[in-house]
Amino acid sequence: MSRARPSSGGPRKGFPLADKVRLALDVGQTSTKWRMSAATGGAGVRAEGRAAGVNTAQPLPQQWRAIVDSVVAQQPGMSVDSVAIGSSGLGRETAHDLMCLVADDGVHHIIVAHDSITSYLGALGDQHGCVIAAGTGSICLAVGPDHWARVDGWGHLLGDAGSAYWIGRTGMEAALRGHDGRRQMTALTGALTDLYPDLELAYLDLQSAPDRVARIAAFAETVAAMAEFDRVAGNILDKAAAHLSEAVQAGIRRAHLHGPAAPKVAALGGVFASDRVLRRFTEYLTLHWPEFALTEPIGTGIDGADALFDLPPGHPLFPQLSIAER
């Protein structure tokens, strides 16, 4: 990690030069949250902030390296000993891929995990249960005493049911059906026309747009705004809630979270900002567990990334971590 010139304020008072720290990164597509703490742990947070996100269509290790460099540049006098990353878009990339890029920078320990794992650890910590995140995409992770299960998170082409993309695409499809005179007429047709005045060219504009996923996902806000007075929009949100509750039920079943008590379930992401989605989602799960109530998250993704440093080997999620040491 290259050492940039110190900021105008110089090293922070109270911390010696080359202070050994561990760096946790919650890497998303929009931005990255980071946190520095003592390398030995337990000494409190040294610094935290935000950095750039990643483009998941491009190789991730080089982007992780760039993020680490930018953080170190903001914290002169800090020497990173360990790095823990919870990253969006993680596929075949490993901690060893990043270690090769930082081999000469004093980093001795790297942990890399899918961001669904860090979202879980941030929301529920060491408790057994299920965390479902629904933003542009959707993914569910359930953890029991001896088993774990990931449900969906298969991307906008093959999955992400109930996500903002799914809602936006379904809303646009309904708008075009209304334009064609198929099925029910809907106010969504007029809303889509506001965005694309020549509605019959809308699909061409979207197909050629490099940000088409974000554009389609953004239409979910329009669907949510119209849900209370437009039956078609309301039905779309109800179906999204059903998809999300179905993912939770599958995750709980596969993680062997059996028992008379309702499981702990935390719901994260912008889709749940819709009162209707959140209400329907809860109602659907109450059908299976009459005493069901959502669990309030105890933390966020950056807390989960920080927790990777101390995840015990016996934890069901530990085998899913990629670890490199030197």
Residues 184 and 245 in one domain: yes
Average pLDDT over residues 149-169: 93
Q: Is residue 155 in some structural domain?
A: yes
Instruction: Give the residue numbers spanning the domain of 194.
Output: 126-288
Contact by Cβ (8 Å): 207, 187? no
Q: Is the pLDDT of residue 33 over 80?
A: yes
| Whether 80 and 138 share a structural domain | no
Question: Does any domain span residue 1?
Answer: no
Residues 90 and 195 in one domain: no
* Section 129-157 average pLDDT: 93
Mean pLDDT of 295-312: 94
- The residues with which 33 forms a beta bridge, in sequence order, are 26, 50
Q: How many domains does the chain have?
A: 2
Residue 254, domain member (yes or no): yes
Q: Is residue 4 part of a domain?
A: no
Q: Determine, yes or no, domain membership for 11.
A: no
Is the domain of 216 the same as that of 103?
Answer: no
Confidence of residue 28 (pLDDT cuts 50, 70, 90): confident
What CATH code is carried by the domain that includes residue 261?
3.30.420.40
Q: Say if residue 112 is in the same domain as residue 217.
A: no
CA distances from 104 to 205, 307, 309 (A): 47, 26, 21
Distance CA 85, CA 203 (A): 37
Whether residues 132 and 245 share a domain: the answer is yes
End-to-end CA distance of the chain: 16
| Averaged confidence pLDDT in the chain | 89
Considering the domain architecture, whether residues 138 and 279 belong to the same structural domain is answered as yes
The pLDDT score that the predictor gives to residue 218 is 94
pLDDT band at 275 (very low <50, low <70, confident <90, very high): very high
Q: Verify that 109 and 164 share a domain, yes or no.
A: no
pLDDT at 102: 84
Residues 70 and 210 in one domain: no
CB burial string 16-43: b at 16+ within 10 A, e below: eeebebbbbbbbbbeebbbbbbbbeeee
Q: Evaluate whether residue 8 is within a structural domain.
A: no
Residue 35 near residue 23, CB atoms below 8 Å: yes
Same domain, 163 and 278: yes
> Does the residue 115 lie in any domain?
yes
Whole-model pTM: value is 0.85
| 75 shares its domain with 154 | no
- Is the pLDDT reported for residue 17 higher than 60? no
Any domain includes 312: yes
- Residue 296, number of CB atoms within 10 A of its CB: 8
| 144 shares a domain with 284 | yes
pLDDT in tens, 95-133: 999 999 987 778 889 999 999 999 999 999 999 999 999
